[in-house]
Amino acid sequence: MKNTTYYLTHFKLNSEIFIKIETFLKHQFAYVNMVSGKLVLMVVTLVVASLVLGCTGEKPPAAETKTPTPEAQTPKNWRWGTADPGSYGYRVISGVINNIKDDVPGYEFSINPYSSTTAAIKGFCKGEVESTYLADLGARKLYDFTGPFEGFKSEVKQMPVQTFWAYTMETFLLTTEENADKIKSWSDLDGKPVFMTPSGYMNHLNLRRAFAALGVEPQHVEVDSKFVCKALEEGTIVATGLYTTARVSLPTWGQELTISCKGKLVPIKMTSQEIQKIEAAGYQVVEVDLSKVTDIKDTAHAVPFYFGYHASVNMPEDAVYNLLKSVEKNADRLTQVDPGLKPLVENVAEFQIGGIKSADPNIMPIHPGLAKYLKEKGLWNSEWDEHIAKK
């Protein structure tokens, strides 16, 4: 075995520690000379190391521990219910999401198409998706549980609140040049036969609420949309409703009408008093340049209504706020999605104000995230405070 001097110098021991080691070895390893020198050195080395650390009160250095890198937070699902993939609503939100998703952290977006808008709304209310496609006019029927939602209340797990308004349709009225001298305003249609667009559809309902605000009751005549021009020429109706999407496009039947009755149609304007009554009822009146969508070189007074995509109050405030901020940030890119988004792109915040007024917060509450966004913009109306949705 090595001598005392070796251990004192090799392990840098003081004499007091070595005496303790030597005593330990004598008692515990009396047989040490019976084994090979290599084994002895190994055993002695381990014992010395143990005793040195024990005697000096030092602890072996702790093994290096690596702080586990936290896994990236799993994004939450944000599913959007719309009508079928061939619908305008599906196409619009697909393009919007594709352009804004990277600026809304913590969520993974997907689109869930349903057989119809009503089916999408019901699916949302049952908790199948986080947002649903809904027009302001449909909100009243949903909240009143009338029409297609009659008897549906027991199945509801959540209700949509005003979240994100995306585009409008604008409903206006046309008559023939032959009738223009007799029908100079909307009120002149009181009691007259009018095709107020197909019964039950949103534009039909929009005309009805506008006429109600004016105290006027035309007699709706249901007409096959392919034969509206013929009905006007034969006098079955004296006027027809028609509409644009975001003031830039007509429905197919509207295009057919303006071709069949080319050069025979004129818009029915509102008087200043009628405009005041419409606006007093909480609706808007806008001008549609018909020369952009027809051969008519004139403008029409129209009442817009809003389409949007709405979540429940369960969707966090910051999520909706970030969504709206992202829409604003990427507004220039959204015009490439569809021309119908142009009014939204021109001023995202002002567009939301129009949607709130049209939907009526007394009926459909406002999401806290939308409220936060509008307050930041200085556009919030304090009268709406009581209509911010609460859980």
pLDDT in tens, 179-227: 999 999 999 999 999 999 988 788 998 999 999 999 999 999 999 989 9
268-279: per-residue pLDDT in tens? Answer: 999 999 999 999
Percent of the chain residues topping a pLDDT of 70: 82
Q: Are residues 146 and 191 in the same domain?
A: no
Domain of residue 14, residue span: 4-56
Residues with Cβ within 8 Å of 374's Cβ and at least 6 positions away in sequence, in order, are: 349, 352, 353, 380
Q: What is the mean pLDDT of residues 162-184?
A: 96
In terms of domains, do 327 and 264 share one?
A: no
CA distance 178 to 261: 12
**70 domain-assigned:** no
Lowest mean pLDDT among 100-104, 179-183, 196-200, 318-322: 196-200
C-alpha separations of 92 from 86, 97, 204, 243, 258 in Å: 11, 9, 23, 18, 26
Residue 387 has pLDDT above 80, yes or no: yes
CATH code of the domain in which 144 resides? 3.40.190.10
For residues 176 and 294, state if they share a domain.
yes
Domains identified in the chain, total number: 3
Domain co-membership, 189 together with 155: no
For the beta carbon of residue 70, count every other beta carbon within 10 angstroms: 6
**Is 66 a domain residue?**
no
Q: Are residue 161 and residue 189 in the same domain, yes or no?
A: no
Domain end marker among 305, 320, 340: 305
In a domain, 71, yes or no: no
Of 305, 336, 360, the last residue of a domain is 305
Residue 300, SS3 per DSSP: strand
Residue 68 has what pLDDT? 46
Q: What angle do CA 382, 305, 347 make, to 5 degrees?
A: 60
Same domain, 299 and 319: no
Count of alpha carbons within 13 Å of 226, Cβ hemisphere only? Answer: 0
pLDDT beyond 50 at 54: no
Q: Are residues 194 and 283 in the same domain?
A: yes
Q: Distance between CA 226 and CA 60 in Å, rounded?
A: 91
Check pLDDT > 80 for residue 42: no
Q: Is residue 48 part of a domain?
A: yes
Residue-averaged pLDDT of the chain: 85
Residue 209 CB partners (closer than 8 Å, separation 6+): 137, 281, 283
pLDDT of residue 64: 53
Residues 204 and 224 in one domain: yes
H or E segment and range at residue 244:
strand 239-245
Q: DSSP for 263-286?
A: TTEEEPPPPHHHHHHHHHTT---E
What integer pLDDT is reported at residue 3 of this predicted model?
A: 52
Is pLDDT above 50 for 33? Answer: no
pLDDT of 315 above 70 = yes
Considering the domain architecture, whether residues 116 and 97 belong to the same structural domain is answered as yes
My answer on whether 80 and 29 are in the same domain is no
**What does DSSP say about strands 193-195 and 164-176: parallel, antiparallel, or unpaired?**
unpaired
- Residue 68 placed within a domain: no
End of a domain among 284, 305, 326?
305
One domain for residues 113 and 88: yes
The verdict on residue 301 lying in a domain is: yes
Max mean pLDDT among 49-63, 77-91, 308-322 falls in: 308-322
- Say which residue, 126 or 338, is predicted with more confidence: 126
Per-residue pLDDT of 13-25, as tens digits, reads 444 544 554 554 4
- Whether residue 374 is contained in a domain is answered as yes
Residue 61 pLDDT grade (very low, low, confident, very high; cuts 50, 70, 90): low
Which residues, in sequence order, are bridge partners of residue 241? 173
End-to-end CA distance of the chain: 82
Domain presence at residue 63 = no
Domain co-membership, 149 together with 263: no
Return the SS3 of 260.
helix
